Amino acid sequence: MSIGMANLDGALQVKVGTLFGRELILVSQSKMEIQTWFMGFMIGRREFNNELVRQLRYEEWTQEGVRTCGIRFKYNGKTQVLVKALLDESDSLRTVVRIINVYKFSHTMPQEVELTGS
């Protein structure tokens, strides 16, 4: 697994390469966009309003008899899978969760405060 990170026009850009392809995660203050790439072609794109994203977490599960790990979150009451990988890539995915959480994408925008002098 490979992880690349950049700041692009105020948005966090995280590239996660796995055995299954590549996920490009773009996180701005208002939305999170997930692009799925395979062999140089974008095969999927999903957008999520950050105010509705809940419980971003690393998890392990069994799917069709294969132990898998990934990043999941709740959106409008449904569980979404952000990135899925083989179990031995768990440390890298935990790192991605920390990166996104540090970027504070799930927090609301700060309100302006007017300061007055006395």
Per residue in 86-99, pLDDT tens? 777 788 888 888 77
Residue 96 near residue 16 (C-beta atoms within 8 A)? yes
**Quick one: pLDDT at residue 104?**
53
Cα–Cα nearest to 101, from 93, 90, 113: 93
Query: Binning pLDDT at 50, 70 and 90, where does residue 85 land?
Result: confident
Give me the sheet containing 66-75, strands edge to edge: 53-63, 66-75, 78-86
CA distance 61 to 105: 25
User: Going by C-beta distance under 8 Å and a sequence separation of 6 or more, which residues neighbour residue 81?
Assistant: 70, 71, 72
Q: What is the pTM of this model?
A: 0.72
**Quick one: pLDDT at residue 79?**
94
- As a whole-number percent, the residues of the chain with pLDDT over 70 amount to 82
CA distance 59 to 93: 9
Helix (H, G, I), strand (E, B) or coil at 118: coil
